[in-house]
Amino acid sequence: MRFDDNGGAAKTYEPNSDEGTPFETGEPLYNGFEVSGVTGAHLPVKHREDDDFSQAGALYRLMSEDEKKRLIDNIASSLAQVSRQDVVERSVAHFRNADPDYGRRLTEALTPAAVGRAKA
């Protein structure tokens, strides 16, 4: 069990909205070591669907209409709490990249929330 603050509020992922830190360096995490040859960092074998959106889009398209509605409502209620519009727009773009309908429905669900924030 950890007794420290485990990095506190520091960002541990990239890209993020904290001026780009931390960022990926491409450096291996460790040097190779001898076993019966040399091991180390190797480039991954890329596949056609190696991206951040194909699997999310495929899962969305498998859902029933009721499941999609609940998912959109859940995500929209969370995103409606975000005060920075640029972060909301980037988030919606990720859902749109997974499936155009996903992004469209999320945008529609957020429109009333965005209007409510503007009046507050």
Q: What pLDDT was estimated at residue 53? A: 94
Q: How many CB atoms lie within 10 A of CB 10?
A: 10
User: At residue 36, what are phi and psi to the nearest 5 degrees?
Assistant: -130, 55
Q: Exposed/middle/buried for 17, CB within 10 Å: 0-12, 13-18, 19+?
A: exposed
The CA distance from 7 to 9, in Å, is 6
Contact 99, 60 (CB under 8 A): yes
32: alpha, beta or left? (left if phi > 0; alpha if psi -120 to 50): beta
Report whether pLDDT(66) > 60.
yes
More reliable by pLDDT, 28 or 57? 57
Please list the residues that pair with 34 across neighbouring strands.
38
pLDDT for 7 beyond 50: yes
User: Tokens 């001026």 appear where?
Assistant: 19
For the chain, percent of residues with pLDDT exceeding 70: 91
pLDDT at 109 over 60: yes
What pTM was estimated for this model as a whole? 0.61
Q: Would you state the pLDDT for residue 112?
A: 66
What pLDDT score was predicted for residue 115?
41
- Whether the CB-CB separation of 102 and 94 falls below 8 Å is answered with no
